[in-house]
Amino acid sequence: MIQILIQGLLLSGLYALIAVGFTLIFSVGRVLNLAYASYLMVGGYIYFYVVQTQGMPKIVGMVVAVLMGCLMGMLMYRAMVKPLKGDHVAVEISTLILAVVIQAGIVLLFNDSAKILHPILPGVWHVGGATVTLNILTATVVSWLILGGLYWFVRKTHTGRAMQAVSMDAKGATVCGVDADRINLITWGISGGLGALAGVFFASYTQLSPNMWVTPLIIAVAVVIVGGIGSIVGTLIVAHIIGFMEIISTTLIAAELRGVFTMLLIIGVLIISPKGLFGREELG
C-alpha cells in the first residue's frame, strides 16, 4: 500500500511536469503543439550525448538540454507557428509532421536502438517498508519546485501576468502595451525548456528511444483534457489522478493495462465535461 502511495506520488509529479508545458502553449497561443513531446525526446538525447557520450557533468547536460529545448520551442514558433497563425488545423498537422521528422533525425544521429540513461541520482531510499529510487524521487522534487516556481512566475511577475492577459484577451493585452508576439515567443521558449527537462527525467525513468515521444504526448493530452486547458492547479491535480490510476492498475491488476484507464478517463471526461474538471481556456 505504502509502495503504491509513494510510487503514485512520484510518478504524478513527473506527469505534471510533462503536461505543464503543453498547457502553457495552448492557453497563451491557442495552439495544440503536437510536436511538444519531441522536446522531451530531444532533451533526453541531448542529455545522453553531453553526459554519457561526452562525459560532462550531469548538471551541464541538464542545462544544455533545457537551453536547446527553449531554442527549439522559439524556433518552432517563429518558423512554423507564426507564419501559420490563425490556421489551427495547419498548425496541428505541421507540428505532428515535425515530430515525425525529428524522430527520423534522432534515428539518423543515434540509430533506432533504445538507450539506457544512467540514473540522475543513483541509489534507493527505504521508507515505511517501501523502496524508492532516488532517481524518481529527484525527478519529483525538481518537478514540484519547477511547478511552484512556474505558478509564482505566472501569478506574480509582469511577464507572467502578461501571459495570462494574452491568454484571456489579446486586444486587452495589446492596449496595455503587451507585445503578444513576444509573449508567445517567451511561452514557446519556456514550454520547450520545461519539455526538455521533463524528457531528461522521463528518459531516466523509462529509456531513450526514437519513439519515446508518443507516451508523453498522450499523458500531456490526457492531463490537459481532464484537468482543463489553462489551469496549472488543475494540471497538477489531474497528473496525480492519472499517476495513481496507472500505478494502481499496473500493480494490482495487470502491467498490460498501463495507459488504458488514462484513455478511458479522457473519453469519459470529454463526454461529461468537455472543458475538463477544473478547466477554462485561459491561463491561471
Partner 1 sequence: MAFLEIDQLSAFYGKARALSEINIDVEQGDIIAIIGANGAGKSTLLDSILNLTQTQGDIRLEEKSLTDLPRSKIVGCGVGYATERFNLFPYMSVQDNLLVGAFTARDTIEQNLSLVYKLFPRLQERKKQESGTLSGGERQMVSLGRALMTSPRLLLVDEPTIGLAPRVCVDIAAALRRLNEETGLTIVITEQNVNFATRIAKYLYVLETGKVQMSGTTDELTSNNELIEAYFGQ
Out of 63, 71, 121, 168, the residue judged to bind partner 1 by CB under 8 A: 168
Amino acid symbol at 266: I
219 near 246, Cβ under 8 Å?
Answer: no
Q: Which three cell numbers stand for residue 74?
A: 522559439
The interface region with partner 1, picked from 54-62, 170-178, 193-201, 242-250 by CB under 8 A, is 170-178
Q: What SS3 class is residue 208? A: strand
174 makes contact with partner 1 (CB under 8 A):
yes
Nearest to partner 1 of 82, 280 (CB atom): 280
Contact criterion met (CB below 8 Å) for 14 and 136: yes
CB closer to partner 1 out of 112 and 169: 169
Least CB distance to partner 1 at residue 165 (A): 5
Residue 175 C-beta: closest distance to partner 1, Å: 4
**Residue 92 or 282 with smaller CB distance to partner 1:** 282
Element (H, E) at 263: helix 260-272
Write the interaction track for partner 1 spanning residues 124-163; mark x where CB under 8 A is met and - where it is not: ----------------------------------x--xx-
- 251 is a contact residue toward partner 1 (CB under 8 A): no
CB 27 within 8 A of CB 230: yes
Q: Counting contacts by CB under 8 A, is residue 173 touching partner 1? A: yes
Q: Is 277 in the site for partner 1 (CB under 8 A)?
A: no
DSSP, res 140? H
- Per the CB < 8 A criterion, the answer to whether 268 and 261 are in contact is no
Residue 105 or residue 284: which is nearer to partner 1 going by CB? Answer: 284
Q: Does 175 bind partner 1 (CB under 8 A)?
A: yes
Q: How big is the CA angle at 276 (ends 242 and 140), to the nearest 5 degrees?
A: 35
- Quick one: cell of 263? 484513455
